[in-house]
Amino acid sequence: MADVIKLLPDHVANQIAAGEVVQRPASVVKELLENAIDAEATLIKLIVKDGGKTLIQVVDNGKGMSGPDARLTFERHATSKISSASDLFNLRTKGFRGEALASIAAIAHVDMQTRISNEELGTHIKIEGSKVISQEVVATPVGTSISVKNLFFNIPARRNFLKSNQVELRHIMDEFHRVALVHPSIAFHLFNNGSEIFNLSHTGPRQRITHVFGSKMEERLVPVDEETDVVRISGFVTKPEFAKKSRGEQFFFANDRFIKSPYLHHAVVAAFEGLIKTDTLPGYFLHLQVDPKTIDINIHPTKTEVKFDDEHTLYAILRSTIKHSLGQFNVAPILDFERDSNLDTPYAYQGKEAIIPKITVDASFNPFDSSASKKAEPRFSGKKSTEGWENLYKGLENLDSGPPVSSYEIESDTEIQSSLYSENEWVQEKGFTFQLQRKYLVSTVKSGLLVIHQNRAHERVLFEKFLGEITVEKGLGQQLLFPLDVSFTPSERTLLKEIHDSLVNVGFVFENLEQETVKVTAVPAILSESKIGMVLDHLIAGYKEGLREDVFSQAEILAKELAKNLAIKTGESLDEDSQMALVNDLFACKEPTLSPTLKKTYTILYESDLDKRLL
Ligand code: ADP
Ligand code: MG
């Protein structure tokens, strides 16, 4: 057989390498920002269009490159950062593999202008799919500007695989945050489709966090600082009461590089044990400085997964350092989440003035007068207690022939009770419900006992309502008497603008969308005023989370989030009308059996189940 093995031409090898380095526009952003930082820039501008699909440009005021270097940089394994294998164990720079630019140039149109300070003129190079189109001398400031256009132009499969512009922009912003948070001394700008989303001036670590995540972050941060032989830990964690259900504010940096480490994440969460609910996460911004010899950053092309020599020690130190910080700043003992949620003011009453309770006594009531006791029929669940107790036995005399539910019927309304003995089947006709443990609504159906999970059922009802309003027919909002000011960070505002139209459909009205403080002038009728800020925060966080998981439909994410936030919770007590309304609404749904998060909304205890239990 003839020889079949060939060496791949460089441009093919580059395309293959690009597959690993460049997954999406955000990967290009990461590489270009890191190169600018390695070039010691103090001011970096990132400009993107259409989620980076059309344009990603990074302009820096760093060292720049000489003409020959500018050309060489697009070769594979061309790097100024290491020159021997031993350098790998003493890395101080972000890059070192020398493949980013070669990879990017293999799959996009790249245009670069660069100049070093001791030359008058700079270099302008254009490369398309690894082919140098032109190289000219140009007048340009010291530093480098690289534009990457039409990413994946020659790999349609990959281009088609990209998500919507909004989703890609989210990923870009995530990368931008990661880089900006480690380098507060560098000024960063981010422009998207011509408008400036971030303008981060040169500052300190704490201010950088608040510039990125908003001034409300200021009061939430607890500093962490510890130096040992193995590691220096610095940064911040958020106070336990600000732990969130959504991910997004968890950052580890190892030697100034953003890293992912489920193991160390666990250490942080362990430090918060007993202080936060199990389904919430603390925010953290933690910098670990270790000897470069003790860390291997080489194990993944995007370099976010690293290997520490002694992870176990690191875990222990991290956990105790954070515990110490939380203790020192006295944030440990104030939380009590075992508190009975029934003591919280119910939704509809928040912000309202307390009404002094009045006791009404029926002075004419005489328990021994049988005509009066008929009127004031007792209920099991009512406050009327032993008066009229003999009524409990009413109906028992015909227990054999009557339906076994007759003893329950005493709980229902007097009005219904009057027809009790004439219509054995009222249960099916009118329906009745009662609430069990403020969690379940119990009712009957022909075949048995219906038990509905009130929270999940209401989530289903609201989910379908909001989904309809967003996609089919606009819902009505309720005008606020006094417009409410809610402040947002730049990235929250970008998200808010993305979901604006859907929110308007469900009844929100916003003003000043361009400013840090947005005015809310109307909200969905079901949303009480005191919850507006919280619900909007959750909506944005939930939407972001949904995007992260690449759920496609914005309407679905929002309807789910709205339903989750506004649904009746476990622990809320419901009057009979609300119970009935909820049961009816649930069964009017298209998919009554499951909550929007795909959990069962109800179950039926069949007669045969009961028979078995009573054997
Ligand atoms: P690496 O960063 O791993 O060295 P890259 O392909 O990202 O590989 O870059 C190759 C080389 O190009 C770098 O080592 C650096 O010398 C040079 N370079 C890239 N970007 C810049 C920049 N913005 N300013 C100055 N030099 C740069
Ligand atoms: Mg690089």
Lowest mean pLDDT among 294-298, 402-406, 516-520, 580-584: 402-406
Say whether pLDDT at 252 is over 80. Answer: yes
- Find the ligand nearest to 73 CA: 1
Q: Which of 78-92, 235-249, 457-471 shows the highest mean pLDDT?
A: 457-471
| The predicted structure's pLDDT at residue 300 | 66
Tell me the best of 29, 101, 148 to mutate to test the pocket of ligand 1, counting ligand atoms within 8 Å of each CB and taking the most: 101
At 450 the three-state DSSP class reads strand
Q: How far apart, in whole angstroms, are the C-alpha atoms of residue 500 and residue 486?
A: 15
Q: How far apart, in whole angstroms, are the C-alpha atoms of residue 221 and residue 219?
A: 6
Length of the chain: 615
Report the atom number in ligand 1 closest to the C-alpha of 103: 6
* Average pLDDT of the segment spanning 192-201: 92
Q: How far apart, in whole angstroms, are the C-alpha atoms of residue 108 and residue 110?
A: 6
Four-residue CA torsion sign, 277, 278, 280, 282:
positive
Say whether pLDDT at 419 is over 60. Answer: no
| The predicted structure's pLDDT at residue 299 | 64
Tell me the best of 21, 38, 99 to mutate to test the pocket of ligand 1, counting ligand atoms within 8 Å of each CB and taking the most: 38
Say whether pLDDT at 436 is over 80. Answer: yes
Q: Which of 147-161, 384-398, 552-566 shows the highest mean pLDDT?
A: 147-161
* Average pLDDT of the segment spanning 286-303: 81
Nearest CA to ligand 1 atom 27: 35
Say whether pLDDT at 480 is over 80. Answer: yes
**H-run or E-run covering 197:** strand 195-200
Tell me the best of 14, 44, 76, 79 to mutate to test the pocket of ligand 1, counting ligand atoms within 8 Å of each CB and taking the most: 79
| The predicted structure's pLDDT at residue 136 | 96
What are the tokens at 269? 């969460």
Other Cβ atoms within 10 Å of 348 Cβ, number: 10
| The predicted structure's pLDDT at residue 122 | 96
pLDDT band at 166 (very low <50, low <70, confident <90, very high): confident
Using CA atoms, how far residue 256 sits from 201, 220, 286, 288, in Å, is 19, 23, 10, 8
What distance in angstroms lies between residue 69's CA and the mean position of ligand 2's atoms?
A: 14
> Which residues pair with residue 149 across a beta bridge?
55, 109
Q: Look at the block and give the residue holding tokens 């997954």.
A: 23
pLDDT band at 396 (very low <50, low <70, confident <90, very high): very low
| The predicted structure's pLDDT at residue 119 | 95
Four-residue CA torsion sign, 270, 275, 276, 277:
positive
Q: Look at the block and give the residue holding tokens 């361009």.
A: 514
At 510 the three-state DSSP class reads strand
What distance in angstroms lies between residue 304's CA and the mean position of ligand 1's atoms?
A: 18
| The predicted structure's pLDDT at residue 551 | 53
What distance in angstroms lies between residue 306's CA and the mean position of ligand 2's atoms?
A: 17
Q: Look at the block and give the residue holding tokens 């534009």.
A: 147
Q: How far apart, in whole angstroms, are the C-alpha atoms of residue 118 and residue 116?
A: 6
> Which residues pair with residue 197 across a beta bridge?
none
Task: Kindly give, in sequence order, each residue whose CB lies less than 8 Å from that of residue 301, ignoring residues fewer than 6 positions away.
Answer: 20, 21, 97, 99
Helix segments in 419-575, DSSP class H: 426-430, 454-471, 490-505, 532-548, 554-566
* Average pLDDT of the segment spanning 163-183: 93
Query: Apex CA 236: angle with CA 233 and CA 241, to 5°?
Result: 135
At 427 the three-state DSSP class reads helix
According to DSSP, the β-strands at 250-254 and 43-49 are unpaired
Say whether pLDDT at 496 is over 70. Answer: yes
pLDDT band at 401 (very low <50, low <70, confident <90, very high): very low
pLDDT band at 395 (very low <50, low <70, confident <90, very high): very low
| The predicted structure's pLDDT at residue 301 | 63
**H-run or E-run covering 233:** strand 232-238
Q: What is the mean pLDDT of the chain?
A: 81
At 455 the three-state DSSP class reads helix
Say whether pLDDT at 425 is over 60. Answer: no
CA atoms within 13 A on the CB side of 244: 19
Say whether pLDDT at 430 is over 60. Answer: no
Say whether pLDDT at 389 is over 60. Answer: no
* Average pLDDT of the segment spanning 244-264: 88
| The predicted structure's pLDDT at residue 85 | 76
Over residues 21-43, the pLDDT tens digits come to 788 999 999 999 999 999 999 99
What string of H, E and C letters represents the secondary structure of 47-71? EEEHHHCCEEEEEECCCCCCHHHHH
Other Cβ atoms within 10 Å of 517 Cβ, number: 9
What are the tokens at 463? 């989910």
pTM of this prediction? 0.64
Report the atom number in ligand 1 closest to the C-alpha of 96: 3
R_g of the chain, CA atoms, integer Å:
32
Over residues 55-82, the pLDDT tens digits come to 999 999 999 999 999 999 998 777 877 7
Let me know: does 232 contact 289? Beta carbons within 8 Å: yes
Query: Apex CA 173: angle with CA 170 and CA 176, to 5°?
Result: 155
* Average pLDDT of the segment spanning 454-469: 94
DSSP structural state of residue 393 = G
CA 68 to chain CA centroid, nearest Å: 46
What distance in angstroms lies between residue 456's CA and the mean position of ligand 1's atoms?
A: 53
Q: Identify residue 403 by its one-letter amino acid code.
A: P
| The predicted structure's pLDDT at residue 134 | 95
DSSP structural state of residue 549 = T
If one compares 492 and 110, the residue with the highest pLDDT of the two is 110
| The predicted structure's pLDDT at residue 414 | 34
Four-residue CA torsion sign, 453, 456, 458, 461:
negative
| The predicted structure's pLDDT at residue 175 | 95
